[in-house]
Chains A and B, each alone.
Chain A
Amino acid sequence: MIFLQSVITALYYGLVAWAAVLIAYSFWRAKTWEREVLYLIVLVPFLLRALFLK
């Protein structure tokens, strides 16, 4: 079980980092300022998680 937990945790953090990259890319491609702000608001918690801060 502990091994599985470690694997799931590693996959999870990989997924969080990948989602953060996709959101950042979407931010850069966004055409309106409202969409840009939205992507950034969504991005911050992902970065806090990926950086092991929250």
Chain B
Amino acid sequence: MTTTVRLRKIGFGALALAFLAVAGSSFYHQRYLPEAVVLGEGVTAVTRLSEYGESLRGTANDIHLYVLEGKAPGGTILVFGGTHAEEPAGRLAAWMLVEHATIERGRLIVALSANRSASTVTRPGAAYPPEFTIPTAWGGQRFRMGDRWTNPLDQWPDPEVYIHYPSGQYLAYVDIRNLNRAFPGRPDGTLTERTTYAFMELIRREHVDVAIDLHEAELQYPVISTIVTHQRGQDMATMVSMTLTDLEGFKIGTEFSPRNLHGLSHREIGDHSQAVSLLFEAPEPFLDATRGRTNADVLLTGKDEFVVQAGKRGLLFETIDEHGWPIAKRVGRHTSSVAQTMETWTEDHPDRGIVARGIPRYKDLVRNGVGFYLRDPAVAPAGRVVYE
């Protein structure tokens, strides 16, 4: 090998290492981007999911649980966002609760990143942005953009067919990493199953009355702008949807959880615990297969001309126009739905009521934007900032 060839190889090798460093740095920062949570006055304790599933300790899914306990005794409600980390309205709505809600009666438990592992990766080949920023008066807050499934770095390989435990139902192979196909889980299963098992243990041990799973859906998906409810929550969900549609300025329907479709939170939590399980869906055009450019702008504005065209051709299950579905509307739908669920639950169960105040509702978020309600960690009191 001549000196020229040797030098060329060294040059090319250095260039490849530079590309490796740039790409590796991007992936590393996406996986470890710290997201600040400023604990509101209502947060009385912060604990970990591993308290309910020891095998999660030290894993990506040993997530924080935020407890907001009122002075008066009452019922318990669990709200979790980030089951599917590519659906940011669910996570941001949970953020609103932790940073602003105060419980006067009963208890609220919140998880911001139910499948934290899924928030550390984006969908291969889908050109997702690795993160997005919500503008605020103090500059803006960065969030990880995630995926629907647990990061393969944390759980791999996938089987040819995913056989759900304990039903034995056959599901798509990739859904073995889908938190919302892995309920009720098992203590010695995959990371995703161990996560759902810990949630089930939390629900059982803390005597959770109502469990709410926050989601978003593409407009081409028929289950959208709705509350999916276990049969034990049908009356309450119907009343919540009617009240919201009448009073809050947005339409939301009710659908019943299919009894023979397993692994989903609205089915398994209700079947395997005392809790009433609900799942809320808001519209997210970013997820539609017909979308155009895939970037943080589309994620936050919900505007996409190609999805609008699909709507004009009758291909969608939700309306969309040039105003899109901005993140404030999507988050507001969730916060109002959670608040209304508490109110309806309390009316129906006065002995286990849950009374909250301070939750920004749909009209507040549409008027002020999401960033208005994100608190600046730089000026937070000492010890009141947690990182997701």
Query: Hey, which bits of chain A sit against chain B, CB under 8 A?
Result: 2, 5, 8-9, 12, 27-28, 33, 36-37, 40-41, 43-44, 47-48, 51-54
Contact = CB atoms under 8 A, between A and B. Distances in A.
Interface of B: 8-9, 12-13, 15-16, 19-20, 23-24, 27-28, 31, 153, 155-157, 188-190
Nearest to B6: A28
Interface of B is mostly: helix
Contacts of B15: 40
A52 B15 CA distance: 21
A2 B189 CA distance: 7
A12 B23 contact: no
B229 to A, nearest CB: 32
A40 B24 contact: no
A12 B8 contact: no
B24 A51 contact: yes
Name, among A5, A28, A33, A48, the residue most crowded by chain B CB atoms within 10 Å (CB to CB).
Answer: A5
Nearest to A51: B24
A33 B16 contact: no
Contacts of B24: 48, 51, 53-54
Given A27-B13, A40-B13, A47-B20, 6 more contacts: A2-B188, A2-B190, A5-B190, A48-B23, A53-B23, A54-B153
A8 to B, nearest CB: 5
A53 B190 CA distance: 21
A44 B16 contact: yes
B16 A43 contact: yes
B16 A5 contact: no
A53 B120 CA distance: 11
Contacts of B153: 52, 54
A36 B157 CA distance: 31
A52 to B, nearest CB: 6
A12 B158 CA distance: 13
B12 A53 contact: no
Contacts of B12: 27, 33, 36-37, 40
Contacts of A41: 16
A14 B295 CA distance: 35
Given A9-B157, A12-B156, A48 B20 contact: yes
30 contacts: A2-B189, A5-B155, A5-B156, A5-B190, A8-B157, A9-B156, A9-B157, A27-B9, A27-B12, A27-B13, A28-B9, A33-B8, A33-B12, A36-B12, A40-B12, A40-B15, A43-B16, A44-B16, A44-B19, A44-B20, A44-B23, A47-B20, A48-B20, A48-B23, A48-B24, A48-B27, A53-B24, A53-B31, A54-B24, A54-B153
A11 B316 CA distance: 45
Nearest first, the 3 closest Cβ-Cβ pairs linking A and B are: A40-B16, A53-B24, A53-B27
Contacts of B155: 5
Contacts of A52: 153
A37 B13 CA distance: 9
A47 to B, nearest CB: 6
A40 B277 CA distance: 51
